[in-house]
């Protein structure tokens, strides 16, 4: 049997046109500098305490900054844009950081000081971007990492397919050098910026339309983005998938004319750790023969968010040069109602030899991941992490406040819980009880 292993694909002309917007000298916009400063707020809108950097700037402009902000008032997580404050800046945004001296909020499970700074920096940067400022400087706000992350996340816009004249302003955030208190601030800024850029990669992959971000194009993006960073990227084709007896994965993918792929990512940072990640990469989920409602179909290109998050993780691993070894298994496919589509009641044998009866083709993710997780076990990992958008039930339960977590490890769960508090991406644990396991085993005709 001949296999196709894609390791270095040249960008197609179509892909280059999509990713590189054409430039026109007639459409160039003037470079405008802006500055984001922070201010702590009190119980009343006019109770404002400027940060040390903002106070220093206020002295340079003879107290104009504080008097203007106090006169207008300031809310937490909001920003006021002021013009003609300083000759070097087209506009200055003062953002509300919230009360001074806050820390870990146990009731909310969040580091309130970091989250407040992220919100303030993001609000200030977005306000200046909306004012057509192109070069934005952001003060550290007592935590340069949080400020960099908030500003970089806030400035991200997806407008790949808008014509040049109709595009909104796109700005770049940099550290305000005059507000730097030491080398630590610069290092923290670089770290926060890298975290945000990794998240923006995941956002880009998630929101790109399905006709553009097909399984092949997703694999292409992995090669272009991660190979230069030192990640080993291997792309397996459908012949390899069938030879490995990944019948569950193949069953949910064969209804589409877009061929499925399995992407392997290998980051080798050294050490004894061996972590394997799997992520659902359904580039479009129509529901198969159990077609989703029409109003829901326009959002189904987002069903690749799990795979997108893993690509972002690997970019961050490279940026931080972490001394660990991580492997990722990403099944890429479309779930479509074609002539070869899996039918309700079909029985397939997964890679591990167990049979599965597929009762609902719209629940494709858990079927495809059964083979991905079976293949992940071949690497003998110490930790296996699966990331996926599997059902609407989790969103119905949690809303957008937190992500649901199922874990068999108490130690790993505690690490995730603390990480969620630190980053603002909170998680909540759901049970792995036998009660749930007994719902999917013990059938007379299948495993």
Tell me what pLDDT residue 27 has.
Answer: 53
What are the sequence ranges of the domains in the chain? 33-206, 211-390
pTM of the model: 0.90
Tell me what pLDDT residue 183 has.
Answer: 81
The alpha carbons of the chain give a radius of gyration, in whole angstroms, of 25
Q: Matching CATH topology for 33-206 and 211-390?
A: no
Tens place of pLDDT per residue across the chain (447 aa)? 444 445 544 344 334 434 444 444 445 678 899 999 999 987 776 788 999 999 999 999 999 998 898 878 888 999 999 999 999 999 999 999 999 989 999 999 999 999 999 999 999 999 999 999 999 999 999 999 999 999 999 999 999 999 988 999 999 999 998 878 778 899 999 999 999 999 999 999 999 999 999 999 999 999 999 999 999 999 999 999 999 999 999 999 999 999 999 999 999 998 888 899 999 999 999 999 999 999 999 999 999 999 999 999 999 999 999 999 999 999 999 999 999 999 999 999 999 999 999 999 999 999 999 999 999 999 999 999 999 998 888 888 888 899 999 999 999 999 999 999 999 999 999 998 888 888 888 788 888
Sign of the C-alpha dihedral computed for residues 245, 248, 254 and 256 taken in this order: negative
- Answer CATH for 33-206 from 3.40.220.10, 3.40.640.10, 1.10.287.180, 3.40.50.1000: 3.40.220.10
Pick the closest to residue 218 from 247, 259, 158 (CA basis): 259
Query: Which pLDDT tens digit goes with each residue over 342-385?
Result: 999 999 999 999 999 999 999 999 999 999 999 999 999 999 99
What CA–CA distances, in Å, run from 349 to 364, 370, 372, 443?
15, 10, 13, 15
DSSP structure string for 185-244 = HHHHHHHHHHHHHHHHHHHHHHHS-TTTS-HHHHHHHHHHHHGGGT-EEEEE-HHHHHHT
Tell me what pLDDT residue 45 has.
Answer: 62
DSSP structure string for 12-49 = PHHHHHHHS----GGG-----EEEEEEEEE-SSTT-EE
- The answer to whether 39 and 94 are in contact (CB under 8 A) is yes
Tell me what pLDDT residue 28 has.
Answer: 63
Pick the closest to residue 105 from 403, 402, 421 (CA basis): 421
Architecture in CATH for domain 211-390: 3-Layer(aba) Sandwich (3.40)
């Amino acid at each position: 049997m001949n296999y196709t292993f894609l390791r270095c694909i040249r960008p197609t002309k179509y892909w280059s046109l999509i990713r590189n917007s054409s430039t026109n000298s007639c459409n160039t916009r003037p470079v405008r500098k802006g500055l984001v400063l922070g201010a702590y707020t009190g119980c009343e809108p006019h109770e404002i305490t400027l940060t040390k950097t903002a106070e220093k700037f206020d002295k340079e402009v003879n107290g104009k900054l504080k008097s203007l902000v106090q006169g207008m008032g300031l809310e937490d997580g909001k920003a006021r844009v002021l013009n003609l404050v300083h000759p070097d800046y087209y506009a200055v945004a003062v953002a509300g950081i919230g009360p001074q001296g806050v820390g870990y909020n146990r009731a909310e499970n969040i580091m309130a000081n970091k989250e407040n700074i992220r919100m303030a920096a993001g609000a200030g940067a977005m306000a200046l971007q909306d004012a057509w400022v192109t070069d934005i400087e952001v003060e550290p706000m007592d935590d340069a990492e949080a400020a960099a992350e908030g500003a970089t996340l806030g400035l991200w816009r997806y407008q790949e397919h808008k014509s040049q004249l109709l595009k909104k302003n796109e700005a770049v955030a940099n550290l305000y050098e005059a507000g730097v208190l030491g080398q630590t601030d610069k290092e923290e800024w670089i770290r926060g910026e890298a975290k945000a850029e990794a998240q923006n990669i995941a956002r880009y992959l998630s929101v790109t339309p399905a006709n553009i971000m097909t399984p092949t194009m997703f694999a292409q993006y992995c090669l272009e983005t991660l190979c230069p960073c030192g990640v080993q990227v291997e792309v397996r084709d459908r012949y390899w998938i069938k030879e490995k007896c990944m019948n569950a994965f193949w069953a949910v993918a064969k209804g589409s004319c877009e061929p499925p792929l399995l992407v392997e990512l290998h980051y080798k940072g050294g050490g004894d750790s061996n972590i394997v990640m799997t992520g659902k990469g359904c580039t479009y989920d129509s529901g198969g023969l159990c077609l989703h409602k029409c109003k829901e179909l326009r959002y189904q290109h987002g069903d690749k968010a799990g795979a997108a998050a893993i690509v972002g993780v690997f970019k961050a691993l490279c940026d931080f040069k972490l001394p660990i070894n991580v492997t990722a298994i990403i099944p890429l496919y479309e779930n479509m109602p074609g002539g070869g589509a899996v039918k309700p009641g079909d029985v397939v044998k997964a890679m591990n030899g167990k049979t599965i009866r597929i009762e609902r083709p719209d629940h494709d993710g858990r079927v495809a991941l059964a083979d991905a997780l079976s293949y992940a076990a071949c690497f003998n990992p110490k930790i296996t992490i699966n990331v996926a958008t599997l059902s609407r039930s989790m969103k119905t339960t949690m809303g957008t406040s937190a992500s649901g977590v199922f874990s068999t490890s108490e130690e790993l769960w505690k690490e995730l819980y603390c990480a969620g508090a630190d980053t603002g991406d909170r998680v909540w644990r759901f049970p792995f009880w036998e009660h749930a396991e007994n719902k999917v085993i013990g059938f007379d005709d299948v495993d």
